[in-house]
Structure 1
């Protein structure tokens, strides 16, 4: 398996030359986030990812997590890597200083998380879930719970989980049956939860489970769900882990991929009931859990980018070494396959998509920082709407692409890609969960069209389109031939997205089946256009640098070429998506269910 190298130059370009760092520095609490600090953080994170975490990826996949009578053992090297991660202070990067966090921007945290996920997707799921649990507790828990649990979770000494799913309750949480009964100042939890990532392990001194359950007098449906903090070990008076709570891991799943990550079946309350503490208000737990879920959905989108980047690096390295057929010089014998047009097409597709995704999520996470830090209500409201609009796009589009691009990475390897020892197949297998967990991509598409576009009569989308049209007008003033080609296809994509949005607002409200049938295509269209906008912005910067002769000219030339490739080979397909968006649902409705 190819050694992982963090994309430092691309990240530095996005922050320093595309204006992200400047935006962050204008926010309260971010004044000291200098270019030097950015470089130092990214560089040190890359060392941990490359030297410590990445070497555990292949061996961890082969060994897998092991269950033995309730005890879960992670693969060799995972615990040592996690210890180095915690000792380096990496878990605390984006969190509030009040509880030991470093208070750095979420955008920067997201960028270093890309490195952890690329280095070892299965390992990095532990801090990913903990991050979301910290967000939920910070936003909704009582001051006492925050004081007891946040400091250790923010440091990474303790980890957190999300417990939603039950055997009969997957995407439909109204079917949750786990029960909670009041018992003085706490509750007794009984029930079973499945698909609990890192629900049991021994890398941390305690595991803090966030569990959805129903009170005896709760209303039916999702309005009757409450959220509880249920620790693996109850705390002593001095705050240290003490008695084992009434919960256990009864098995772990055998999965297609992410073998190193223990996916647990958790049993709560085999005896007196697991002691839990209410987070938020009774019967309003789903809203609290959505704080964690929205955080996790952005993080899972990041995973899609990360595994695609890892697959791209491996495919590109293999293509430089593998020799087959005749290349540019017929007399030179067998040529590296990177000289063949179709291999170059695949590699450029992988490269263009990964660069587009990276720019999109960094921009979105910068907006998250604006929503959390900006003092003006109008800025907060705008940034919150935009992050909400982009969340299903990032989760859905990124993870669909992850499966496509890791499969393409296998294809670049040819027959060797189908052989496990090359490592290409692992990326493909690992990626397949991403469109499923944290809300399937069908749910993400329905969230986009329903809650994020139709719910506010298209306000958030209109704001996005207004900015996109303004950017196109800016491109009109540039005379570069590459920019002209990029502008042509980007303008067509933006116009198509606008037409699709108008159709949705008119027809989707009248016919829910029309909106449902169009949703996946509209999400893909949105992602394709969003990626095109960010690559076009990168192209504008690169073009200016090339004309001035500043900096690394080869790097800027590659940036411009990548943006043009994306425009001609990806954005050019965007207008064709309007047909399945506006017409495809009619055939769906006409098909008899008996023949499906």
Structure 2
């Protein structure tokens, strides 16, 4: 049986009962679709993930990848699935049909990635990156570039990457040293990039790199960076794969996890033979690249959540089969299944709530992104765009860290077996760790949230978030069963709001003290969103239970996970908010030599 496990009922409860995702079909762009079509896509994506993608997880872990004579070799099964993945429409599910897309709502790309990342994180990075790179070309490239590359990237013939990081320019992209020299209709590219996911491999006919470089003579800093399309192989006169383009893989990283995902170091133009093509406006490369970077950050949160999801489901299955110890209340003679032990149940309920809350958080943000792009009026689009922008660093940072902790807790449920490779959870744990590190570390996400996202447009993003939170609280404050927990959320939000106001002042008056506490501040917002989304599901489930009977275990589970999580988390949220505005200055005043 496949390692990948998912509760399809949980998926549809969020999509249909909580979000009403069928309403997207009323938007002009999606009027040819129906909710039944969206439902079918979800079930087919789960089927494909289990049947085609999930087997790659074990294959990739056992065989890994090989670096030989400047080439990266992958298990042959990866190439077959990559091509099928594109041909079946999963890579371009949410893109326009003009270049081979399926025309589904943008949020469906996130839903599909939920299943595909859970089935095999290492593999799904390849089509996900390819989608992002192709969409960049589709958004900013010339007609010639779009025609030459985008359809073949969407259909699984070519793959794509994003090339930002350099040895001396990691998160500080202003220090980018790769140079583009104008020559004819293109540019000669010279430089090197590191930590390039799927930067070299043999699963596609060509690799299309989206490279940040500085045109010779351009200004220093981020204002002088441009974006270039740099294929591994140039195209011939007929559009086919032509000569090698002097893009050399100089090595791959030996990593804790993601053993089947090559992380490459690339050299561009070492022999003066690398040609790139400008994508978008000169000196606007970083602004263009943010489209792909923000998408990658959301998908990092998706990865953390979905690895947590399948880890929880595997742990749950184990606890229903493993017999160990006696019942502490002596309800049954002899040894019992470990799911009957209260401490194991505590871990299971926390994981259940964490996974459901993260999935709702992510799907909701994706739903808002569609409303931001396709909403009926400008005011509505601006509101949902503000929400989407505000949620991006929270989704990335909170879900990547919480996902890792769920994997760790799932391992704890299995005891010593969880630490062994007999079960997949130890691989999930290793694979999940990178999520807090790449696409901008979680500390960087916190600085973005508590800095730019709080200040831009006079705080419009936070105001949009606060409006949504207040609307939910106002609607459910007096709920017959859950009103007390909603009021607890209201109190916690008020405290976090006070903290955010104080930190906004400190960001100008005392930036070092402000920067010392941006990460715990982000966690406060993540906690609020989790409790909000869980209580929202609980209110829906409670109403359904009244109609169908209180003994409906599925609905009872939704209510129980929300009340448990709120009671366990909100007191810590309030206390953490207090620590973010403490007066102690140990962090900023302690001498370097005292550490």
TM-score tier after normalising by the smaller chain length: over 0.9
Q: Distance in 2 between matches of 1:536 and 1:443?
A: 29
Q: How does 1:356-395 map to 2 (within 5 A)?
A: 356-395=357-396
- Quote the residue 2:561 is aligned against: 562
> Unmatched 5+ residue regions in structure 2?
none
Q: How does 1:211-250 map to 2 (within 5 A)?
A: 211-250=211-250
Q: How does 1:268-347 map to 2 (within 5 A)?
A: 268-327=268-327, 329=330, 331-347=332-348
Deviation sequence 1:5-31 (CA, Å, 0-9, x none): 333211211121113314412321222
Q: Is the 8 A contact 2:304 2:403 kept in 1?
A: yes
Say which SS state the counterpart of residue 421 (structure 1) adopts. coil
* CA drift at 1:114: 0.3
Q: Distance in 1 between matches of 2:176 and 2:382?
A: 33
Q: Distance in 2 between matches of 1:292 and 1:581?
A: 32
* CA drift at 1:330: 5.8
- Quote the residue 2:438 is aligned against: 437
Q: Distance in 2 between matches of 1:120 and 1:545?
A: 35
Q: How does 1:515-594 map to 2 (within 5 A)?
A: 515-549=514-548, 553-583=552-582, 586-594=585-593
Does 62-71 or 455-464 show the bigger shift? 455-464
Q: Distance in 2 between matches of 1:566 and 1:84?
A: 41
* CA drift at 1:120: 0.5
- Quote the residue 1:512 is aligned against: 511
- Quote the residue 1:142 is aligned against: 142
Q: Is the 8 A contact 2:3 2:424 kept in 1?
A: no
Q: Within the alignment, does 1:85 sit opposite 2:91 as a pair?
A: no
* CA drift at 1:273: 3.0
Q: Distance in 2 between matches of 1:540 and 1:385?
A: 26
- Quote the residue 1:174 is aligned against: 174
Structure 1 residues 551 and 159, CA gap change in structure 2 (3 angstroms): farther
Say which SS state the counterpart of residue 422 (structure 1) adopts. coil
Structure 1 residues 65 and 97, CA gap change in structure 2 (3 angstroms): same
* CA drift at 1:429: 0.5
Q: Distance in 2 between matches of 1:192 and 1:463?
A: 41
Task: Calculate the TM-score normalised by the size of structure 2.
Answer: 0.96
- Quote the residue 1:192 is aligned against: 192
- Quote the residue 1:478 is aligned against: 479
Q: Distance in 1 between matches of 2:10 and 2:419?
A: 30
Q: Distance in 1 between matches of 2:6 and 2:412?
A: 23
Does 252-261 or 368-377 show the bigger shift? 368-377
Q: Distance in 1 between matches of 2:256 and 2:19?
A: 40
* CA drift at 1:111: 0.8
Say which SS state the counterpart of residue 347 (structure 2) adopts. helix
Q: Is the 8 A contact 2:2 2:50 kept in 1?
A: no
* CA drift at 1:387: 0.7
Q: Distance in 1 between matches of 2:550 and 2:245?
A: 59
* CA drift at 1:270: 1.9
| RMSD after superposition | 1.8
Deviation sequence 1:226-245 (CA, Å, 0-9, x none): 21100111112222211121
Q: Distance in 2 between matches of 1:497 and 1:198?
A: 40
Q: Is the 8 A contact 1:545 1:553 kept in 2?
A: no
- Quote the residue 1:29 is aligned against: 29
- Quote the residue 2:467 is aligned against: 466
Structure 1 residues 564 and 2, CA gap change in structure 2 (3 angstroms): farther
Task: Calculate the TM-score normalised by the size of structure 1.
Answer: 0.96
Q: How does 1:147-158 map to 2 (within 5 A)?
A: 147-158=147-158
Q: Distance in 2 between matches of 1:184 and 1:473?
A: 62
Structure 1 residues 134 and 247, CA gap change in structure 2 (3 angstroms): same
- Quote the residue 1:132 is aligned against: 132
Structure 1 residues 56 and 552, CA gap change in structure 2 (3 angstroms): farther
Q: Distance in 2 between matches of 1:404 and 1:321?
A: 23
* CA drift at 1:441: 0.5
> Unmatched 5+ residue regions in structure 1?
none
Say which SS state the counterpart of residue 29 (structure 2) adopts. coil
Q: Is the 8 A contact 1:92 1:100 kept in 2?
A: yes
- Quote the residue 1:95 is aligned against: 95
